Amino acid sequence: MKSYAAGPTDSPIIEETIGENFERIVWANPDAEAVVDVAGDRRWSYRELNAEVDLIARALMSLGVAQGERIGIWAPNCPEWTIVQYAAAKIGAILVNINPAYRTHELAYVLNQSGVRTMISATEFKTSDYVRMVEEVRADTPDLEEVLFLGTDDWTRLRDRAGAVTEDHLRARMASLSNTDPINIQYTSGTTGFPKGATLSHRNILNNGFFVTEQINLGPDDRLCIPVPFYHCFGMVLGNLGCTAHGTTMVIPAPGFDPGLTLAAIEQERCTGVYGVPTMFIAMLGHPDFANRDLSSLRTGIMAGSTCPVEVMKRCVNEMNMTEVAIAYGMTETSPASCQTLIDDDLEQRTATVGRALPHVEIKVVDPETGETVERGQTGEFCTRGYSLMLGYWNDEEKTREAIDADGWMHTGDLAVMREDGYCNIVGRIKDMVIRGGENVYPREVEEFLYTHPDIEDAQVIGVPDEKYGEEVCAWIRMKPGRAPLDADAIREFAADKLAHYKIPRYVQVVDEFPMTITGKVRKVDMRMESVRLLGLDTR
């Protein structure tokens, strides 16, 4: 039997824009709680949230934001992020998600590549001074005209502008939109060069959010704790859109993930579901407050980002009451999820696999060399197609053609095995991507940055095993003649304000040469094995 499967089609695809779908749910559940901001002690009903979304939508129109124009958002999780997400969707503006961990090097690139004219930004988060960084890149981002900082008078002034645009003008704008229009750009790095902007439509992300949460039986009586970041599909699609498509309450426990605050929010708000990557669940299970928290309201959630250890899944089921927790697998380019386990799947299916094809999604496993579909049980490249497939990479047709073949299949670069029952197991990666704590780190991007150091001749980046994060970043560097060797501390200092923290190498090996193939290609497999030996990681 060939490694091909198609998800069920009994529930139809939603053919609405995000704004239309949101308003339909609002009219059905006007007084239900929509958003709870635990940290700020603020709450909105669906009626109140829709009114605020409309206010910001009209305010953005008064700034001259046109349909198809890009709006950047650079902030940690907060209600304003969600409000801007739906306001942009209602006016047909393309929301550009900017990773809160970005530094100036990355910020300037995404602003220029997407052509952002208006950006809404936090003032600070953790160690990031966004105001300072915005000022640093202003000279290098000529398209950027307007930056509005949350938590300042900027937001109040924006709200005050709404009166310049009538409700009728907003209705007319909404009526002109199509659900196949681009509505979101999310940057996902490639194995070569800079990040690529996966461009997603209303149809892409609305349906993915709906079908993934449909699989865990989300409904108007549920309250979902969302500690995963909104800038990523996990937060804004599977979290926000999944909730609003079902009239569910979105609970924001904190601006960034904090295990103690997440546990407190679940107890306080009687959450029925919680999302996270495995490291988040490990942190919650290991928190000193864990045993004292009442988590009896939980029943479900989604774990994604990397493989879930069996013992962690057992504890989520037995100690967090998440008997209906699901595993999901996907990538930004597919809105994101392609596969998911069912809530009644056994422990083996929820730990040894990433589930089976989601509704209206096709999947197959092919020989990476020939493109032929392999037999079930054989390893090959995971491919998928369907409504969830991105429109393409923003302004990059070449990279789009490399990723999506002529028959509409997305080639993920992940190595997978499809079992006889149609469930899939991800066994490795064709590309050299490093997954650190659920964050994708693409070696070429870090290498390109390391090349900017005046003392570095050449750099190669790989992933090495790590107990806490799954993988850590390791850089092999060759020094320019006569230059003193650099250590990990020196590299960290050089990268501190320019690269996101999770991309900065933890380990640095200074070498005279790299292992090479006969044809002159660097052998990263050999580098990885040697790094494990030199660092003593194989004994952990």
Q: What's the pLDDT at 457? A: 82
For 72, counting Cβ atoms within 10 Å of its Cβ (0-12 exposed, 13-18 middle, 19+ buried), the class is buried
C-alpha 440/C-alpha 297 separation (Å) is 32
* Distance (Å) of CA 474 to CA 392, 436, 464, 490, 526: 31, 11, 7, 14, 13
The dihedrals phi and psi of 104, each to the nearest 5 degrees, come to -60, -40
Q: What's the pLDDT at 189? A: 64
Minimal CA–CA distance to 269: which of 42, 509, 511, 496?
42
Mutual angle of helices 79-91 and 18-28, in 10-degree steps: 120
Query: For the chain, what is the mean pLDDT?
Result: 94
Give the residue-averaged pLDDT of 125-153. 97
Query: Which has the minimum average pLDDT: 106-120, 266-280, 449-463?
Result: 449-463
Q: What pTM was computed for the model? A: 0.86
pLDDT tens, residue by residue, 311-339 = 889 999 999 999 999 999 999 999 999 99
pLDDT tens, residue by residue, 66-77 = 999 999 999 999
* Distance (Å) of CA 164 to CA 119, 169, 172: 20, 10, 15
Q: What's the pLDDT at 191? A: 42
CATH number for the segment(s) 435-539: 3.30.300.30
pLDDT tens, residue by residue, 455-486 = 998 889 999 999 889 999 999 998 988 999 99
Copy the structure tokens of residue 54. 């409309």
Beta-bridged to residue 182, according to DSSP, are 201
Q: What's the pLDDT at 309? A: 76
* Distance (Å) of CA 514 to CA 193, 444, 456, 486: 20, 15, 14, 17
Res. 529: pLDDT tops 60? yes
Q: 217-255: string of b/e by CB count within 10 Å (b at 16+)?
A: ebeeebbbbbbbbbbbbbbbbbbbbbbbbbbbbbbbbbb
Q: Is 378 helix (H, G, I), strand (E, B) or coil?
A: coil
Same fold, 40-178 and 435-539: no
Helix (H) or strand (E) holding 462: strand 456-466
pLDDT tens, residue by residue, 494-516 = 999 899 999 999 999 999 988 87
Confidence of residue 121 (pLDDT cuts 50, 70, 90): very high
Q: What's the pLDDT at 524? A: 85
Q: What's the pLDDT at 519? A: 47
Q: What's the pLDDT at 193? A: 60
Q: What's the pLDDT at 204? A: 98
Minimal CA–CA distance to 439: which of 380, 499, 523?
499
- Asked: is 40-178 a CATH 3.60.20.40 domain? The reply is no
Give the residue-averaged pLDDT of 421-438. 84
C-beta separation of 465 from 471 below 8 A: yes
Question: In this structure, which amino acid lies at residue 167?
Answer: E
| Residue ranges per structural domain of the chain | 40-178, 435-539
Residue 142: CB atoms within 10 A of its CB come to 10
C-alpha 6/C-alpha 478 separation (Å) is 48
Q: What's the pLDDT at 540? A: 44
Q: What's the pLDDT at 517? A: 57
C-alpha 499/C-alpha 102 separation (Å) is 6
